Structures are given as structure tokens and as C-alpha cells.
Amino acid sequence: MLIKAVDVIVTRPGRNFVTLKITTEDGLVGWGDATLNGRELAVAAYLSEHVAPMLAGIDAHRIEDTWQLLYRGAYWRRGPVTMAAIAAVDVALWDLKAKVAGLPLYQLLGGASRDRCLVYGHANGRDTEELLDSVRAHLELGYRAIRIQSGVPGLGSIYGLPPADDRLGRYEPTSAGGLPAVETWDSPAYLRHIPGVFETVRNEFGPELPLLHDAHHRLTPIQAARLAKALEPYDLFWLEDVTPAENQEALRLVRAASTTPLAIGEVFNSIVDYQLLIREQLIDYVRSPVPHAGGITGLRRVLDYAAMYQVKSGMHGPVDVSPVGLAASLHLGLAIHNFGIMEYMRHHPLAGEVFRSTHTFDDGGLHPGDEPGLGVDVDEEAAAAFPFQPGYLPVNRLADGTVHDW
Ligand SMILES: [Mg+2]
């Protein structure tokens, strides 16, 4: 099980993905997801230039030791690029270990704690009619929990709105080439509009459907508190990312104002980022997915800590988490006790030509399948047919031109 080769594959089947391949001297292959949306080549270079030389000849069974070597050994710790690279190595080593054991990865993490992992999909609409149609389309697809995002009168294209031709909300905000798209934002207009959207959706679909919403880091603490309070009558499963993630104390104000459950952390990458939020019980769900938070080893540490405070998982699952990253989150989610929910957006159909995954969607939930390892194979020949193209997430400006959080 000595590591013989470490290769980085950058491919664009519909969107960019960075995939790590670790090959052992006895010819086994493990896969990891190193995709960091909009900054892909930074992680690819970190892996190929700085990490790969350190892995040659290492025993691939030594997962914890390798994690510590890459984390402590870099001297410069944490950050999205470093932790995405560590995550990719960690997941590839878990994939290898499970293949050697002849078991699906979740069996090595303690075995299944549930039949499947509940997921939520993204319903969205430029206006309320379009949104209601999108919720119906997701219910028909089999979703049992739904995030709703709506256009705001007076604003054009904003976070979470669908492409004109896709009622299933395969939301892809990243540009294909060129510079970042510029969107216009207005928090007061958003705050006036959103409670009425939830009232309409609740009236239409009844009290039982779990509903989620993402404010995408745009509000001040007092605005966030007002939104959480205004949405309380509509019984959200969670309200996500109400304030920019750096000012964690802001959530004390939101907590004091409302019992709306809160989720945060898709831009976090280590247990240190969650220390205050979990210890003070300022959140209910941890949003980090496996590939952005130091892998299975890194995220499991966060979730074990969270479990002491009855905080649950709510793993990020946009289309820029590759099928390898999705599978890693699924195996961990199936095994832990404090699983909450997972985000599940369907990948671009072309992604299926590169990534062959055994996961299945049934009764509103995902199962990773029972093949040894992660249950994902990567077709490198197919990957080579989809060359990388740089792209950016949008940026936000207020009406007067001031840059705002996107
Ligand atoms: Mg979010």
C-alpha cells in the first residue's frame, strides 16, 4: 500500500472539477475531490507542486498521520486552498482503504446509522408563480425537503435564480470564461419581499413540507435578526448564512431574536472555524461538506464536536462539489449519528461521462451504494475531452456602486 503516483486531473464536463488520483505500488487507485469553485488551479498547483512530492513512498493506510503531516507540516495552516488539498488526499486514502477491505466506505466509519440520507433540492423563481411551479417540479422528482429562493421586485439576476430554461434549478452561477458577472443587491428590498414569499409557499403546500432558505451572507446582524423573526411563523427547517461568516458573534443577536433554526459554514474549512458557534450553540447545522473541510478526517472531527451540543450536519452540495466529493459526504452522512440533511443538486449531464457513481436517489434520500470504496470511478480519457476553462462566481454591488457580499 505504498503510494507510487499522485496525479491531478482538471476537467470541465459542463463545469470545472479538480480530481486527485492516488495510485499505490500494487496498482490500487483512490480518488479525491479538490474542486474550489472559481479558484480551481490554485488547489491543483498546491497538490501537484507541494503535496504530491511529500506523498511518494508513504504507506497509504496511514490516513491520520498523513492528514497531520499535511496540516502541521505546511506551517501555514487552514484556508480554503490548503484544506481542499488535504481533503482530496484524505478522501483518496479512505477510498483506497475501503477498497482493500472490500467494503463500502461507510462500513469503515462505523456502518450505516440510517437507510438513506435525506436531501433537499433547490426550487427557485424570478416571481412567486415560477417558484411555486419549481416546488411542484421538485416534489414530482421525489424531493422531500426544498430550499426556496425568489427574485426580488426591482432587482434583476440575483443569487439563487434559475436559468430561463431549467425548472429544476440546476443553478450554475459560475461564468464560463470572461470576468465575474456583476449583480445588483438591495437588502431592504429583499427583507420586505421574502416573508410574503414564504407565506404564499406555506399556504400552497401546507405545514409539513420542510422548507429552507439561504440569505447568502448579505445581511447586517440586526437585519439578520429581523429576517429570522419575520420567518418564524413559516417554520423553516433552516435559515442559512444570514450574516458574513467572519463575524460569528453576530449570531448571538439573531439567536436572541428568534427560534428559526440556523445553518452556516459552507465557507469554513476547519474545526477551529466552528469553535465559538458550536460551543455557544449559535447554530443548529454545520454546512461544511467533506471536500472543503479537510476530508472525512477533518469533517468528522467537527461533527463529533457538534454532536455534544445536538448540532447536526447539513453538508453543502452545489454542482461544484464533484460526484467524488458528493460520495464522500454521503458515506460520512450515512454513518454518523448526528446527520441532519444534505444539499443535492443534480450535476450537469456531461459530468456523468467522466464520473461513474453508484449513488441512488429514492424517497427523498441518497444512498452511496455498496461497491468497495467510495463507489465512484473516473474515466480519464473522457475527462481529457473536456478542457479547463477559467470561470468566476458573480460579484455584488449596491445601487450606488459599493461592493457588497455576494
Ligand atoms: Mg449557502
DSSP 285-331: EE---GGGTTHHHHHHHHHHHHHTTT-EEEE---TTS-HHHHHHHHH
Q: What is the pLDDT of residue 284?
A: 98
Q: Strands 29-33 and 376-378, how do they pair?
A: unpaired
Ligand 1 geometric centre to CA of 192 (Å): 21
Q: What is the pLDDT of residue 165?
A: 61
pTM more than 0.85: yes
Ligand 1 geometric centre to CA of 214 (Å): 5
Reading the block at residue 319, the C-alpha cell is 454542482
Ligand 1 geometric centre to CA of 61 (Å): 34
**Nearby residues for ligand 1 (ion, Cβ within 5 Å):** 214, 240-241, 266
Ligand 1 geometric centre to CA of 216 (Å): 5
110-157 pLDDT tens trace: 999 999 999 999 999 999 999 999 999 999 999 999 999 999 999 988
Alpha-carbon distance of 312 to 303, in angstroms, equals 7
For 147, list phi and psi in degrees, rounded to 5. Answer: -85, 135
Ligand 1 geometric centre to CA of 150 (Å): 14
Q: Are 290 and 315 in contact (CB under 8 A)?
A: yes
Reading the block at residue 43, the C-alpha cell is 488547489
Alpha-carbon distance of 135 to 209, in angstroms, equals 10
Q: What is the pLDDT of residue 126?
A: 92
203-237 pLDDT tens trace: 999 999 999 999 999 999 999 999 999 999 999 99
Q: What is the pLDDT of residue 379?
A: 98
Q: Are 228 and 258 in contact (CB under 8 A)?
A: yes
Q: What is the pLDDT of residue 178?
A: 86
DSSP 20-45: EEEEETTS-EEEEE---TT-HHHHHH
Q: What is the pLDDT of residue 28?
A: 98
Q: What is the pLDDT of residue 172?
A: 84
Residues of the chain under the 50 pLDDT cut: none
* Domains, the chain, ordered by start: 3-103 (3.30.390.10), 108-371 (3.20.20.120)
Q: Which residues are catalytic?
A: 159, 216
Q: What is the pLDDT of residue 122?
A: 94
Residue tagged 417540479 (cell numbers)? 137
User: Which residues, 6 or more positions from 177, have their beta carbon under 8 angstroms from its beta carbon?
Assistant: 389, 390, 391
Ligand 1 geometric centre to CA of 124 (Å): 14
